[in-house]
Amino acid sequence: MFDKIHQNPVLICYVNCYAKTEAQTYMPKIARILKKLEIDKIKAEGLHAVGGVSGLHLQIKGNSRSWILYTMIRGQRRKMGLGSCEDVPLAEARDKARELRRQIRNGIDPIEERREAKARARLEAVKTRTFQQCAEAYIMAHRAGWESAKHLQQWELSLAKYVYPIIGGLSVANIDTGLVMQVLQQPVKEKDGTADTFWNLRTVTADRVRSRIENVLDWARTSGLREGENPARWQGHLEHKLPAKNKVQKVEHFEALPYAGIGAFMAGLRKYEGTEARALEFSILTASRSNEVRLATWEEIDFSARLWTVPDGRMKGRKEHRVPLSDAAIRLLDALPRHEGNSLIFPAQRAATLSNQSLTTVLHRMGHRGITQHGFRSTFRDWAGETTSYPREVIEHALAHKLKDKAEAAYQRGDMFEKRKGLMEDWARYCGTVRTA
């Protein structure tokens, strides 16, 4: 056969061409080894083989110059960047290229190794997130589902005051029982000089803080940022380390004015001018919460029905509340000015709405620093329970309280609006009468 090939010029040419093509396909072209000075003179954009290591190229794109290694990995042509020429000298680029080709010969895919290393680095960076970072992420994720802005504020203030100074900067993965106990047993002091641990002196607040820490740590665990049991859980854990909540906690009541003094107080309040004073007066006449009054709008008032409808979004119980308006409440509303472009009944002068502190400020100006706006709901409750014959459920509906008896609540589906009309009228008359001691 070979004799026939040697005798045929056409076959000889074909074999030579085939051999040359195969050599070009499977044999890498060996580039001349360029020196640094020669490489620095290259200005044309594109890829330029620099020699020294098979597949090593200089890549020029605009003003950018970098090292690129082309090689075969598992039968596929792959491209790997080795860094910019400014950061990686020529000798280092060749060393990197030799090491990568050595790994490929040993069955390692350097590109996959790089990806896995970056993923591990990202995971480690995430796992070092601090407790404060996780708490802020938790708040951001849940704030839309919370009942009110006040709930959000309570979360942020309590964590900033009691938790962040102790564990806020620590990795969430390292929070353990000892650190949670440091938060709950930190020393606190009351205004009267009483000093004790946070848990013993302010148990209600401390337990809320504990619960918030527990929620954040649960969120961190489900997010893959920590492992193991939650060190802030109460049942089966902290209950064995701290006094029982019902043994040390004191019910935190809002300071209230005795109902016998409400007439004199209202007489004094009506001498004060201003939106804040009228908002406080309206809240007392309707036995309402501060938030319900400060954000009230004219659209919620039905003068013909003598009715104020508070939407569910502003109610603590997330249920619409109808308030019967007494003669005194109607007169107060009739005397208020309307502001074009502003539907608020009690608009603020320099802000969007009156602040939660604005009604308290009125009390302070009047010299009443020992009572709160919310306390007037207790004043109303005491007056109604002790001096009137209205049924308890009528009084509770007036305060928009949920009935504690579930069976009673199941049967009591109405809001007793008609009966509450007389109750609120009697309350307004009582508030308008000054009594001597």
d(CA 414, CA 405): 15
Contacting residues for 190 by C-beta, under 8 A, at least 6 apart:
201
Question: At 282, which helix (H) or strand (E)?
Answer: helix 275-286
User: What pLDDT does 306 receive?
Assistant: 95
Question: Does residue 229 form part of some domain?
Answer: yes
- For the cut 50, the answer to whether the pLDDT of residue 27 exceeds it is no
What confidence score (pLDDT) does residue 356 get? 77
Average pLDDT, the chain: 84
Which pLDDT value is given to residue 124? 62
Domain total of the chain: 4
Task: Evaluate whether residue 19 is within a structural domain.
Answer: yes
Residues 104 and 169 in one domain: no
Is there a domain that residue 253 lies in? no
Question: Is residue 146 located within the same domain as residue 285?
Answer: no
Q: Is residue 337 domain-shared with residue 388, that is, in the same domain?
A: yes
Please indicate whether residue 211 or residue 151 has the higher confidence score (pLDDT). 211
Whether 119 maps to a domain, the answer reads yes
Distance CA 317, CA 300 (A): 18
Among 218, 248, 278, where does a domain finish? Answer: 248
The domain in which residue 203 lies consists of: 131-248
Q: Are 232 and 238 in contact (CB under 8 A)?
A: yes
Residue that finishes a domain, picked among 126, 145, 168: 126
pLDDT confidence bin for 264, thresholds 50/70/90? very high
Question: Among 110-119, 136-145, 149-158, 190-199, which stretch is predicted with the lowest mean pLDDT?
Answer: 110-119
- Residue of 329 and 81 predicted with greater confidence: 329
Which residues in 187-306 belong to E strands, given as ranges? 187-189, 195-197, 301-302
Read off the CATH number of the domain in which 230 is found.
1.10.150.130
CATH number at residue 68: 3.30.160.390
* pLDDT band per the 50, 70, 90 thresholds, residue 225: confident
State whether 354 and 208 are in the same domain: no
- Cα 421–chain centre separation: 42
The verdict on 102 and 181 lying in the same domain is: no
Q: Of 197, 225, 248, which marks where a domain is finished? A: 248
Q: Does any domain span residue 254?
A: no
**307 or 121, greater pLDDT:** 307
Q: Identify the residue with better confidence: 301 or 11.
A: 301
Does residue 215 sit in the same domain as residue 271?
A: no
pLDDT in tens, 335-383: 999 988 889 999 988 767 888 788 989 999 998 887 888 899 999 999 9
Q: Which of 8-17, 59-68, 394-403 has the highest mean pLDDT?
A: 59-68
Same domain for 413 and 365: yes
Buried b (16+ CB within 10 A) or exposed e, 159-188: beebbbeebbeebbbebeeebbbebbbeeb
Q: Kindly state whether residue 436 falls inside one of the protein's structural domains.
A: no
Asked if 145 and 235 sit in the same domain, the reply is: yes
Claim to verify: residue 280 and residue 423 sit in the same structural domain: yes
| pLDDT (0 to 100) of residue 304 | 95
Does 437 reside within a domain? no
- Same domain for 141 and 97, yes or no, is no
Do 239 and 148 belong to one domain?
Answer: yes
Please choose, from the candidates 291, 328, 303, 331, the residue with its C-alpha nearest in 3D space to the C-alpha of residue 424.
Answer: 328
**129 or 113: whose pLDDT is higher?**
129
| pLDDT of 169 higher than 70 | yes
Number of helices followed by number of strands (H, E) in the chain: 20, 9
Judgement on whether residues 401 and 285 belong to the same structural domain of the protein: yes
